[in-house]
Amino acid sequence: MMKNKMQVSCKNFMNEQIIISSAEEGKRIDVVCAQRFPDFSRTKWAAFGKFLLDKKEKAGKTKVQVSEAWHISYEGEMASSFLRDIEAWDLDLPILAESESWVVINKPEGVSVHPSQTEHTSHTIINALVHHFGTNLSENTSDIGGQKISRPGLVHRLDKGTSGVLLVAKTNATHRYFQEHWKEVEKTYYALVQGVPPVRGRVESGIERDTQNRQKMTVGDSDHAKDATTLFERVRTNSGFSLLKITIPTGRTHQIRVHLSEIGFPIVGDGKYGGSKSDRIMLHAAELSFPDPDKKGKQRKVSSPVPGDFISW
């Protein structure tokens, strides 16, 4: 395994001439650029863009007029600044599907998607993505304890013990598209649970942080609880264990694990929520169906084979 800090310098990587349309008249030139080239925000354009009108450099706040011909360029070490403190990790990441703007990987179980307040490590999916894709990832950040933490490419997450399909955005525009259309995404999981639940079931309970253990979630109805729905279908049963096919219209932290435990059918290997001992948490993200931004929103379905130990018991 190799580790190294990302230090990539990308200068003068965009150089374009644009003609202002009637719909853009009266807008700031940095706003126009951000709308036309959404891989970079208006703030980034204002800081690192160069705007020329009639060969004279103008400020980003300059208002444009219809039919003006602007020469614009984007300069500086911008593409790598959000990766500068992330160590690259040479982990094998099986690719299930890929386009110019997104990639779906088959996440291995036992690897965290990103570092957290309780797990400080450079061996996460984020570190592996940086190794494989470098600066070709969206500039995503999360607010952790009041601090902005870089999570490049990460559109959604899977728990450390969960394996399967994970969608990653390569560009900021694609990242925003997935965020705006996330309600159109369909997620299918398989879980091996203790007991024999009904052939079909639906769990609707709010999910919130457990006040007694901040590393756990729980069912609740306080103002902090978020609505959550889990649908399941029993596929097979053997010796007091059952394989379930699960879909979740919502996606809350630990949702499937909490809901199944709450109704008395904990996931095998999930000791945190009452499951029996196993080499892994028996939960697998098997399928993701999402609107493809490269194909005008046409639904794309990507699958990950269910691990053999889910069906060999």
Q: Is 310 helix (H, G, I), strand (E, B) or coil?
A: helix
Residue 159 falls in the annotated catalytic set: yes
| Active-site hit among 54, 90, 92, 159 | 159
Q: How far apart are CA 200 and CA 308, in angstroms?
A: 23
Residue among 191, 183, 202, 122 nearest 162 (CA)? 191
- Runs of H (alpha helix) within the chain: 29-36, 42-48, 78-81, 125-133, 172-180, 255-262
Q: φ, ψ for residue 50 (rounded to 5)?
A: -125, 130
For residues 62-72, one letter each, b for 16 or more C-beta atoms within 10 angstroms of the residue's C-beta and e for the rest, the string is bebeeeeebeb
Counting Cβ atoms within 10 Å, is residue 31 exposed (0-12), middle (13-18) or buried (19+)? middle
77: its two tokens: 């070490």
Compute how many other C-beta atoms are within 10 angstroms of the C-beta atom of residue 221: 9
Q: How far apart are CA 165 and CA 233, in angstroms?
A: 20
Q: What is the DSSP code (8-state) at residue 131?
A: H
Q: Residue type at 300? A: R
Active-site annotation, residues: 159
